[in-house]
A = this chain, B = another copy of it.
């Protein structure tokens, strides 16, 4: 249909398209963390002028995917271990909320979709196929977030998952091959949802994220630095 092309042209500006394309390139790893992004070069590559590229940079900076330094250019954001730790902490909180809310709203059909994904993950895990596993895992959690019916929450969740994705790119380049051993956990989560047990689903999802965080610490500092009931941190605001 040509009406598709019309709607596209109607809603999408060059800036938006550039933004989406850059987002894709960054999350896929084609543009690696730390890599410098020259305006002229990108503009040429995408056949646009520098204006739209600069505007897309501003949006991506706010989205946490690139970093802008005045007079020194733009680069793909590098997420440090400390930041990743913070992000996991936040993600755990969001996931807990997601579990509680999703349990109140989820339909049987939606539960079926989650179960189907788990089957695929199970298969990939047995084959030790990380490349097949990750997208399914991603889809599982993204779907779950959408089942809360809260679009604002979904957006917030996606934003920080993007940042974690960026971090994974960094560690991947460092040869980290750690495999998330969380097949059973996913099943337990869906079981809790099936019983509409929000507290339990929330608790399981919180734990699920905290375990990812622990794996992170194992890979880097050896045993995780811990404070209080299992959180470590540094840095600050104010």
Distance to closest chain B CB from A237 (angstroms): 4
A235 touches B151 (CB 8 A): yes
A198 touches B229 (CB 8 A): yes
Q: Mark A110-150, 1 if CB is under 8 A from B, else 0.
A: 00000000000000000000000000000000010110111
A93 touches B90 (CB 8 A): no
A104 touches B227 (CB 8 A): yes
Q: Given A58-B56, A83-B152, A156-B160: A101 and B238 within 8 A (CB)? A: no
A235 to B12, CA, bound (A): 23
B87 touches A237 (CB 8 A): no
**A89 to chain B: which residues have CB within 8 Å?**
97, 101, 150, 152-153
Q: Does A62 contact B (CB under 8 A)?
A: yes
This chain: how many copies in the complex?
A: 2
Q: Mark A94-112, 1 if CB is under 8 A from B, else 0.
A: 1011000100110000000
Nearest chain B residue, comparing its CB with the CB of A104: B228
A105 touches B70 (CB 8 A): no
Q: Given A97-B93, A156-B160: A236 and B149 within 8 A (CB)? A: yes
Report 19 cross-chain contacts, Cβ distance below 8 Å, ordered by A residue.
Answer: A10-B70, A12-B70, A59-B61, A62-B62, A86-B152, A86-B153, A89-B101, A89-B152, A89-B153, A90-B152, A90-B153, A93-B93, A101-B233, A104-B227, A151-B236, A151-B237, A152-B160, A152-B163, A156-B159
Q: Which residues of chain A have a CB within 8 Å of any CB of chain B?
A: 10-13, 15-16, 51, 54-56, 58-59, 61-63, 70, 83, 86-87, 89-90, 92-94, 96-97, 101, 104-105, 143, 145-146, 148-156, 159-160, 163, 198, 227-229, 231, 233-238
| Top 4 closest pairs, chain A to chain B, by CB | A93-B97, A104-B228, A62-B62, A86-B152
**Given A55-B55, A96-B97, A155-B237: 15 more A-B contacts, CB < 8 Å:** A51-B51, A55-B58, A86-B152, A87-B152, A89-B97, A89-B150, A90-B150, A93-B97, A104-B227, A105-B233, A148-B233, A149-B234, A149-B236, A151-B235, A154-B237
